[in-house]
Amino acid sequence: MNQKLRFPAEWEKQSFLQLTFPHQESDWSYILDEVTACFVEIIETAARFQDVLVVCDKVERVKSFFDSTQNIFFVQAESNDTWARDHGGITVVDNGNAVIHDYIFNGWGNKFDAGLDNQITKKLYDKGIFENCSFRTFELVLEGGSLESDGKGTILTTSECLLSKNRNDHLSKYEIEQHLKENFGAERILWLNHGYLAGDDTDSHIDTLARFCDEKTIAYVGCENPEDEHYEALGQMKKELQKFKDFKGKPYKLVEVPLPDACFDTEGNRLPATYANFAIINGAVLVPVYGVSQDEKAMKILQSCFPDRKVIGVNCRILIEQHGSLHCVTMQYPELVKLNKKIIS
């Protein structure tokens, strides 16, 4: 294993945040105005703290939604949808140099068409959007939302996702672990075998269930209602988390965030609302809220996890209509990766 290879934690200094903007040909077409407003709020809020790169179908169309474009940069690239966490580049640091890893995104196990999304990261690199980094392509299906890093060699993930037969059925658990060790510098892989959210398309991405807040703290989704369908699975997940040790061999500080009240689409299907899908940026944490009674409690709990950052709620009720939330539509790039602002709008 390359001890100099490292997968940065999300709370480390960032250069910019990437989002892929919704358009008429995406799955958002039937609620495009509402979801556009949500994306604008996320982007404008993040831009108060750092640069934001917006991938869009038509630059001038998307620019028109913003009163100010300070710290916001736009680049044209075709897309199927908007889940930048999973089609965006995953950055590692190799001997002090940034390397953007470009994995295959196959629509969470061939559930959805993702051919255009799968090309975005390579197109941005070829256009010269990313500076001060190198680029590496892998013939492996892997999504950013499936991995949590403490920046110290620990990766937290779920077996439901990484061992999905519709992703890398030719690889064993051991072989996937070896890939993470060889290409992310991982020394330990913590596997969760329990926990899910109804309505989730990702096969239990870790960023919907449990998140590193720092090297010693994990915030996780809990369920206190025995009548809720998630009660048993999330209870089993909690027991697994209680057995995990941090990189120094000590039990993690576990912080439970509530499961939001059940949200449903117009056909009565439960949607995957979760407060664990927060995004950490420079100086702030953007937390999805849903207009339910647990919003305020969740914000206070997460503020306690990030005492040195401003915790800001963004109403993401519209995002869960397409089965994702705030973290799912963003991808951060660490400070080593620079935006080539000369060639973007």
**142-168 residue pLDDT tens:** 999 999 999 999 999 999 999 999 999
3-state secondary structure (DSSP) of residue 139: strand
pTM for this one? 0.96
| CB of 214 closer than 8 Å to CB of 11 | yes
Tell me the two tokens of residue 46.
């993040």
Over its C-alpha atoms, the chain yields an Rg (Å, rounded) of 19
Residue 250 has what pLDDT? 97
Tens of pLDDT, residues 84-109: 999 999 999 999 999 999 999 999 88
pLDDT band at 2 (very low <50, low <70, confident <90, very high): very low
User: What whole-number percentage of the chain has pLDDT above 90?
Assistant: 95
3-state secondary structure (DSSP) of residue 135: strand
pLDDT band at 1 (very low <50, low <70, confident <90, very high): very low
- For the chain, the domains span 5-339
CA distance 174 to 198: 29
Q: Give CATH for domain 5-339.
A: 3.75.10.10
End-to-end CA distance of the chain: 41
Tens of pLDDT, residues 277-315: 999 999 999 999 999 999 999 999 999 999 999 999 999
Tens of pLDDT, residues 106-139: 998 889 889 999 999 999 999 999 999 999 999 9
Tell me the two tokens of residue 173.
């658990």
